[in-house]
Amino acid sequence: MTDTPIFEDALPEEDPLLFSVSDEMSFERLDKVLAQLIPQHSRSRIQTWIEGGHVMVNGQVAKVRQNLREDDQITVFVQPAPEDQAFKPENVDFEVLAQSPDWIVVNKPVGLVTHPGAGNWSGTLLNGLLFRFPELAQVARAGIVHRLDKDTSGLLVVARNEVAQTHLVRQLQARTMGREYLALAHGRMLSEGRVDLPIGRDMRVPVRMSVEKPAAPKAAVTHYKLMRVGEYYDSNVSQVICKLETGRTHQIRVHLASLGHPLLGDTLYGGRMLGQVTRQMLHAHQLRFEDPGGAGEVSFVAPMPEDMAQVVEAIRWG
């Protein structure tokens, strides 16, 4: 027999759903019949269960396009939706740089999604925070105050209670929280500048943000300062420090691209993969805020991650 067995220890704790195929349903496809029998679940989700080996017909693992016959016995092991597990603790690897009774400062690694969302319902920083700090289950969004893109590394502050979360969010709103980023951008940038361009969703490409006739634009301000210019694989590269006044999605990536200087590796906004570059070269290296506990301003620095440091080392600086 070539069918993949369902092992007992892989079955969910809930009792399975049991159905007997009627004459009216005979010769119909399995997924179509189940969509009628359990209409509270979408057909695509049911197909996922079948493909995952969670549906059996007459004791055998079923196939999506399988046709049924009268009196066939269907067993369905209902699986939780991915989003149902979004706020479950998981042992996710990340560095805690510092902590107090009111906050946690995290150095997020490259590749880690900050918060669950479509396509990333598990394995996120939020899941890891709930695993390491179970008390965060009592705080909205597990205390996450601001986010970093999946392929951007660096510092984030997480609130450990609602009072601290409100305090930190208000600092973001008042633009008093200091966030400084290190970036590698294409071309030779000016010594310094300020980009004040509202950002919203790109009307043509939904996964992109834009400053050119965007949908629902919001105010966005980025300050940048040139550190040095070099050459990498016959291309000019600028190392810059960027400071945020606001915190819009993809803000630095969009603003630098709007100047004609997209980040190295940021193919979504016109950047190129050169040499050792495998992702957008952006790192949140400095963070400062007023301690909600009354200890005054606190400040933290995270060193550049290894992949970005290797690129910086390989650049021929002028």
- pLDDT digit string (tens) for 175-205? 999 999 999 999 999 999 999 999 999 988 8
Is there a single domain that holds both residue 129 and residue 251? no
Is there a single domain that holds both residue 286 and residue 205? yes
| Residue 9: band (very low, low, confident or very high) from pLDDT cuts 50, 70, 90 | very low
**Contact of 202 with 209, CB cutoff 8 Å:** yes
Q: 149, 234, 266, 307: which one is catalytic?
A: 149
SS3 195: strand
Shortest CA distance to 269 belongs to which of 202, 190, 224?
202
266 part of a folded domain: yes
Residue 6 has what pLDDT? 30
What CATH code is carried by the domain that includes residue 193?
3.30.2350.10
**What is the average per-residue pLDDT within 10-32?**
79
Q: What is the dihedral of CA 201, 202, 207, 209, to 10 degrees?
A: -60
Is there a single domain that holds both residue 66 and residue 101? no
Which residues have a Cβ under 8 Å from the Cβ of 190 and sit 6 or more positions away?
Answer: 226
**What is the average per-residue pLDDT within 195-224?**
93
Residue 2 has what pLDDT? 32
33 part of a folded domain: yes
Is there a single domain that holds both residue 136 and residue 161? yes
**Contact of 165 with 245, CB cutoff 8 Å:** no
Q: Decide if pLDDT at 5 tops 70.
A: no
Q: Decide if pLDDT at 241 tops 80.
A: yes
- Give residue-wise pLDDT tens across range 29-60: 999 999 999 987 888 889 989 998 999 999 99
Is there a single domain that holds both residue 193 and residue 285? yes
Which of residues 174, 190, 207 is at a domain's end? 174
Is there a single domain that holds both residue 72 and residue 151? no
Q: Decide if pLDDT at 3 tops 90.
A: no
What CATH code is carried by the domain that includes residue 65?
3.10.290.10
Number of domains within the chain: 3
- Give residue-wise pLDDT tens across range 244-295: 999 899 999 999 999 999 999 999 999 999 999 999 999 999 999 999 999 9
Is there a single domain that holds both residue 114 and residue 180? no
Is there a single domain that holds both residue 237 and residue 290? yes
- Give residue-wise pLDDT tens across range 64-76: 889 999 999 999 9
Q: Decide if pLDDT at 13 tops 50.
A: no
204 part of a folded domain: yes
Is there a single domain that holds both residue 191 and residue 285? yes
When comparing pLDDT for 118 and 263, which is higher? 263
60 part of a folded domain: yes
- 226 sits in which H/E element: strand 221-232
| Residue 84: band (very low, low, confident or very high) from pLDDT cuts 50, 70, 90 | low
Residue 265 has what pLDDT? 97
Is there a single domain that holds both residue 55 and residue 161? no
Which of residues 141, 174, 207 is at a domain's end? 174
Which residues are bridge partners to 159 per DSSP? 103
74 part of a folded domain: yes
* Active site (annotated) includes residue 149: yes
What's the domain range around 145? Answer: 82-174
Which of residues 150, 174, 198 is at a domain's end? 174
